[in-house]
Amino acid sequence: MKGSMCFAFCMVISLTARAQIWDLADNFSIDRNPNKQWSYGSTPTLGGAFKTFTVTSTITFQVRNGAVAEWNGTYLQGDELFPIVAKYYGDPGTTVTVFSGTKEDPGINLIQRSANGIVMHPTLPGLGYGIIRWTAPQAGTYVIKVSFFSADINVGATTDVHVQRNHVSLFDGDVNGIRSVQNYFSGTGGIALGSGDVIDLAVGPNGDLTADSTGVDATIQLLPEVVNCFPGNESFYKPVKPSNSVSSNVSPNISGKPSICALPSSKPASWYIRTSWDGGVTWQWVETLGSLGLGEH
């Protein structure tokens, strides 16, 4: 059906992909590296060749209200291997605390992290950077939010922190002391990434290795693609007569009128369809493409 023939009874259709969000802490794995989109490792220089960690351990200090599991690099300092990417496991809403001493004599508080958060620790100066890497699963526009802050509550971390896209810096900053925070936000419009592009969260020692435990929060969201299909916007997909391969009648809806829109069969089956019978003032969710037999499965 041509756009000029639709008039008032044609529905406005909007096709919207489900939002996809990757959360660094929620997605963390101590069993697999890489773990889907996330990898934990190091580079010899900022933006250098990435080496995936293969060694895991538990923290050598005493822990209260939880447990700490670590991915470790190869540089031995004291009783630990650096750099470190760790998760501070605990009951939601609690704080996990690391002490300098033993159960009998706990000593002083060294590190605090909200339960189930991530902490990185760099390696010795001149020996590279601790890296958390995220790899884009598909081309698209992604919103990125990252926060670096001192997890050391005794001295305060002094680290250099970075967010890089394909080894080129998007953000560079310094965590400098107990209450120091460095944030990166791509903006609500996001940034374009191709399939296989990488985002690196890098932490370096910024001069020395003392008290450099650095908390990291990060989320990456794929912005949903929206395709409009209605008369007058034929640069997208226009209303047409139903065909078995690429379109379907998605009525009935409140108006009692059918809504027909041509859809490419390659669109993901997880896309939702919503219709408007009043030109976009009021919307109604209908079905997913998969439930209509459309899109890849």
Residue 203 and residue 266 in one domain:
no
pLDDT score for 253 = 34
Indicate if 153 and 48 belong to the same structural domain: yes
Please check whether residues 108 and 208 belong to one and the same domain.
Answer: yes
- 181 and 284 part of one domain: no
Q: In DSSP terms, which residues pair with 13 in a beta bridge? A: 229, 275
pLDDT at 79: 85
Instruction: Print the domain residue range for 251.
Output: 3-18+225-292
Distance CA(130)–CA(134), nearest Å, equals 14
Count of domains observed in the chain:
2
179/196 same-domain check: yes
Residues 36 and 158 in one domain: yes
Q: Quick one: 277 and 167 in the same domain?
A: no
Please list the pLDDT of the chain residue by residue as tens digits (297 residues): 233 333 223 334 444 555 689 999 999 999 999 999 999 999 999 999 999 999 999 998 899 999 999 999 999 988 889 999 999 999 999 999 999 876 666 678 899 999 999 999 999 999 999 999 999 999 988 999 999 999 999 999 999 999 999 999 999 999 999 999 999 999 988 999 999 999 999 999 998 888 999 999 999 999 866 555 544 444 334 333 333 333 344 333 334 444 444 444 455 555 555 555 555 555 555 555 555 554 443
CATH assignment of the domain containing 185: 2.60.120
155: Cβ contacts below 8 Å, ≥ 6 apart: 178, 210, 211
**What distances in angstroms separate CA 265 from CA 19, 89, 224, 260, 293, one per listed residue?**
20, 44, 18, 15, 9
| pLDDT recorded at residue 109 | 85
| The pLDDT value given to residue 252 | 33
pTM across the whole model: 0.75
Residues 78 and 198 grouped into a single domain: yes
Q: What is the pLDDT of residue 254?
A: 38
Distances (CA, A) of 6 to 105, 207, 218, 261, 282: 80, 69, 47, 12, 19
Question: Which long-range contacts link 261-265 to residues 24+ away (Cβ below 8 Å)?
Answer: 261/13, 261/229, 261/237, 262/229, 262/237, 262/238, 263/15, 263/229, 263/237, 263/289, 263/294, 263/295, 264/237, 265/294, 265/295, 265/296
pLDDT at position 243 is 37
- 257 with 9: CB under 8 angstroms? yes
